[in-house]
Amino acid sequence: MLPSFILPQWNKEASYIGLCFLIDILLWHLKFPSAFEIIEKEDVFKTVPCPAFLLFDNAAYLADMSFELPCNCKPEEVTAVVWYFQKNMGSKKAKILTDFNGTVLVDATHIRSSSDMLLRFSIRMFNLIVFRAQVEDTGHYMCGTRQGDYFYGYDVDVQSSQKITVTFEDQEQHPQKDQIEQYFSVFTTFWEWTKCDRCGVRGEQRRIGLCYLKSNYLFTRYYKTIPDVTSCGSAAVPKLFKKAIMMRNSEVVIRSCMVKCPKCPTKNPKFSLSNIISKLGRKRWSPEVPIQLYTHPIGYGLIISCPGARPEQAVAWDKEKIRYYRTQYLIGVNRTMRIYIDHGNHLNIRFVQLEDRGIYYCWLDGQLIAGFRLAVTFKTSRSRSLSDPETIYALNIIFTSYVFITILFVAIHCCRFSYFLFRCC
């Protein structure tokens, strides 16, 4: 406790300090009156005016990718927008992608590339979402009203992935060289490298490259992020230029990588011995991921998708001790492959056989996330059709063999005829 003669002096000093503190707070409020006010977020549609003349933003994507087109401007009184699709500019036909209320919602997990066009589009918060875009989706997308008033437009170029050029850096391969012509030049613009698709073991990385063109003769109605540069499939490119760049394909570069797996949290040492004893009876180690059972008939094709994966992400596939690397199992590397990985990161099996039974594991961005236990059966009630992939593959093999035998037969008879003609002469 303080002595009695110090208490009055201490109370006087404390009162003086408190009075100064209150004066500082009052001066702060007078100087900054809105320091504690809650400011509402400004509406983007009030700050971004719509252009008087409709322009189109250029955007390029690879087939099977999903993307979103925002409606960057609209009048304040408009509460619902309608998206229109027009293949060629100037055409009187425009397709309405959703209903007039913008309430069509689609689950992307149930959409395939062969689905109807209207099923792959959705409006959410005035923005258009496109699932599994295809080459035929290339065209003009316009945000407007039911009465046909347009506010904002996009020039979307969806480039094909079927004739894509694949480059393996480990094999000292190089991307395509720039194509320089008199009035334009064509080059490839690469995206960033994906994450390593596996951890703890050797993995792979991908880098997608899209075709772009630079010229001073592009149409001025199309907006370009970089002056005089647009994608090869854009409507801003004159028709004479498109004929010269038809053989230019999009690219994908693949290289090896190696990253460490994230460390698992340390467990209680009390249960370490019991865990070791419990694992001694197991025949083989299996990752702790959810495993789904699937039964498929023998002799039919099968396509396995990684849950929640997009084509632009890093996806890898393993079957127990077998690792499917793209340097060996990527589509197009070998035409006789029965098991391959397409550019949409799906694992394809042309004809399911008995040795295909087992557990297939899926990696997503370097983490093991799911497993599929495949069981093969002999019984099937489904009849084959000409549209089945395995039927088309078998017909191609038969037709190729028939053509080869016919050419060989004709060549042998021509040789015999030439031999007898030479003897007679």
The DSSP string of 264-276 is PPPPPGGGHHHHH
pLDDT of residue 155: 93
Question: Are 302 and 251 in a shared domain?
Answer: no
Please report whether residue 13 resides in a domain.
no
Question: Are 172 and 155 in a shared domain?
Answer: no
Give the side-chain half-sphere CA count within 13 A for 106: 25
Question: Are 216 and 103 in a shared domain?
Answer: no
Question: Are 238 and 154 in a shared domain?
Answer: no
- Nearest residue to 139 (alpha-carbon basis) of 223, 57, 235, 237: 235
* Six token digits for residue 31: 């100087």
Q: What's the mean per-residue pLDDT of the chain?
A: 78
**All residues at 6 or more sequence positions from 112 whose CB lies less than 8 Å from its CB, including other chains:** 132
Sign of CA dihedral 33, 39, 44, 49: negative
Give the pLDDT band (50/70/90) at residue 376: very high
Q: What is residue 9's three-state secondary structure? A: helix
Please report whether residue 379 resides in a domain.
yes
Q: Name the domain count of the chain.
A: 3
Give the pLDDT band (50/70/90) at residue 78: confident
Please report whether residue 266 resides in a domain.
no
Please report whether residue 374 resides in a domain.
yes
Please report whether residue 417 resides in a domain.
no
- Tell me which of 120, 135, 159 is where a domain ends: 159
Question: Are 151 and 174 in a shared domain?
Answer: no
Range of the domain at 175: 165-257
Question: Are 217 and 305 in a shared domain?
Answer: no
- Tell me which of 109, 128, 159 is where a domain ends: 159
Please report whether residue 17 resides in a domain.
no
Give the pLDDT band (50/70/90) at residue 198: very high
Question: Are 57 and 100 in a shared domain?
Answer: yes
Question: Are 170 and 147 in a shared domain?
Answer: no
The pLDDT of 123-146, averaged and rounded, is 86
- State the amino acid at position 44 in one-letter form: V
Question: Are 291 and 360 in a shared domain?
Answer: yes
Q: What is residue 90's three-state secondary structure? A: coil
The pLDDT of 239-267, averaged and rounded, is 84
* Res. 364: pLDDT tops 90: yes
* Six token digits for residue 194: 């994906």
Q: What is residue 372's three-state secondary structure? A: strand
Q: 339-365 burial, b for 16+ CB within 10 Å, e for fewer?
A: bbbbbbbbbbbbbbeeebeebbbbbbe
User: Distances from the Cα of 323 to the Cαs of 26, 166, 197, 344, 358, in angstroms?
Assistant: 71, 20, 12, 18, 13
For the domain that residue 135 is a member of, what is the CATH number?
Answer: 2.60.40.10
Which residue carries 């023998």 as its tokens? Answer: 298
Question: Are 73 and 136 in a shared domain?
Answer: yes
Please report whether residue 20 resides in a domain.
no
Q: What is residue 241's three-state secondary structure? A: helix
* Six token digits for residue 199: 């951890």
Please report whether residue 414 resides in a domain.
no
Q: What is the dihedral of CA 404, 407, 413, 415, to 10 degrees?
A: -100
* Res. 301: pLDDT tops 90: no
- Tell me which of 159, 187, 218 is where a domain ends: 159
* Six token digits for residue 269: 């040492």
Q: How far apart are CA 401 and CA 404, in angstroms?
A: 5
Alpha-helical regions (H) of 82-219: none
More confident residue, 100 or 307: 307
Question: Are 139 and 209 in a shared domain?
Answer: no
Highest mean pLDDT among 319-323, 391-395, 417-421: 319-323
More confident residue, 335 or 52: 335
Question: Are 99 and 148 in a shared domain?
Answer: yes
Q: How far apart are CA 386 and CA 396, in angstroms?
A: 12
The pLDDT of 175-185, averaged and rounded, is 90
- 323 C-beta neighbours (distance < 10 Å), count: 18
